[in-house]
Amino acid sequence: MSLSSSLVFYIGNGVVKGAVVLHEKTKTPRIISTRIRELPHFNERDRDHLEKRILFEFGEMVRELKGEDIKKLASNGFKLKFENAFVLVSSPWYISETSVIKMREQKAFTVTDTLITNSKDNIIKGYRDAHQVDITVLEQKIINVLLNGYPTNDPIKKKAQSLDMTVFTSFARKSSVDHIKDIIDSNFHVRDISIHSQSLVSFSVISDTWHELTQYIIADVTSQLTELVAIRKGTLSEAYSFPKGKQFLVHSIADKLKVATEVAESLLKMKNEGNLEPELLKKLDEALESAKKDWLKSFSESLAVMSASSSLPSKFFLFAPKDVVHIFSDYITCEEYQQFSFAEGKFEVKNIGVPDLLPYCKIENGAVGDLSLMIGSIFNSKIKSFNI
């Protein structure tokens, strides 16, 4: 008997990942196999060259998943039938924009499907004309509608003299999307392949899990970037990123202590486990303090941009590898940032770990509990269940 299953992939700026996920009606998804391929640090500034290198690594990872992991699962009695492939991408693989559409008329007009569709299409056309690139839309979501100044969840067929509509749109290079789909299809012949931004997927999973919260910021530092996503009044407001995630810490330590990046990784792990000698711990802390100043400078600049329209939420949901989660949590809550006039109050951080998501996604023996793959699996299961 064939088991209903999906392929879930993650493509970041410093890592590519894949998972085989089982689905059963009314049950949480089960990750039965994972493959994670860390990429070496890239110094190339040319985006096209960098993209080719990352997609090459993605192709190698997909072939390994097919050639080794799937065969092993088959030998263990798993007869798999892949219904779809779900791809989660982080910055800089996509650019997101929050646009506000305003309409004002002397006489009342009727809000129609055509009006809404044309307004959303104009956002895409405007972006394409402004950037002169061949782009595709990963997702487009209306996050807020006001008719005559009052919010509504169902504007269609209603009359108004003013319409204010806020739309979140994620754009990606069409060539990148086509290449990703070709790699998956050529190895697994899965025709149903969907690609989504980490901003929207993380927001969806968190809003379903902590539904009582309506104001917060999602911070993801799992690879070479820090991604920040602001949620206001329960809706996705905006996203911003800068090139200083976990790998920034690793390379800062390596440069400061004159060691290889592998040694720097090991030192972070030993610090997290409390296994460093006092003298070495002091040197590591000095390196981290230097990195902190650089990171906080970029963090401050990002928050200033994100707070231009309204004050920022004070609650953070932090996605970070275990060996650096407390470091970044301390960075966000440090005293330098408690006087920000654009924040609601003192920053509070909730560190999101694998245990937080286990009620919604199971990890079988032999698979790695990875946050990105778990988030992708949960969201993909939601899509399959509700056909959204």
Cα separation, 249 vs 327, in Å, equals: 10
**Under 8 Å between Cβ of 197 and 12:** no
How does strand 3-11 pair with strand 80-89?
parallel
Alpha-carbon Rg for the chain, nearest whole angstrom, is: 22
Report the distance separating Cα 252 and Cα 258, nearest Å: 10
d(CA 332, CA 308): 19
Distance CA 182, CA 193 (A): 10
- Write out pLDDT tens, residues 258-276: 999 889 989 998 998 888 8
Q: What is the pLDDT of residue 388?
A: 42
User: Are residues 19 and 11 in contact, defined by beta-carbon separation less than 8 angstroms?
Assistant: no
Let me know: does 96 contact 239? Beta carbons within 8 Å: yes
Q: What is the pLDDT of residue 7?
A: 96
- CA-based nearest residue to 11, from 388, 379, 380, 376: 376
pLDDT along the chain (388 residues), means of 10: 84 90 84 88 64 91 93 86 92 83 93 94 88 86 89 92 90 93 94 90 90 90 86 81 88 92 90 88 92 91 80 89 90 67 73 92 93 94 67
The domains found in the chain, sorted by start residue, are 3-92+175-205+355-386 (3.30.420.40), 95-170 (3.30.1490.110), 211-353 (3.30.420.40)
pLDDT in tens, 134-162: 889 999 988 889 999 998 989 999 999 99
pLDDT score of 160: 94
Give the predicted TM-score (pTM) of the model.
0.85
Instruction: Output the six-digit token pair for 305.
Output: 């941009």
pLDDT at 336: 59
pLDDT value for 370: 93
If you ran DSSP here, which 8-state letter would residue 341 be given? T
Produce one character per residue of 335-367: b if its CB has 16 or more CB atoms within 10 Å, e if not. eebeebeebeeebebeebbeebbeebbbbeeeb
What is the predicted pLDDT for the residue at 41? Answer: 58
Q: What is the pLDDT of residue 21?
A: 95
At 249, phi and psi to the nearest 5?
Answer: -65, -45
Task: Sheet with 135-147: list strands edge to edge.
Answer: 95-110, 159-173, 135-147, 150-151
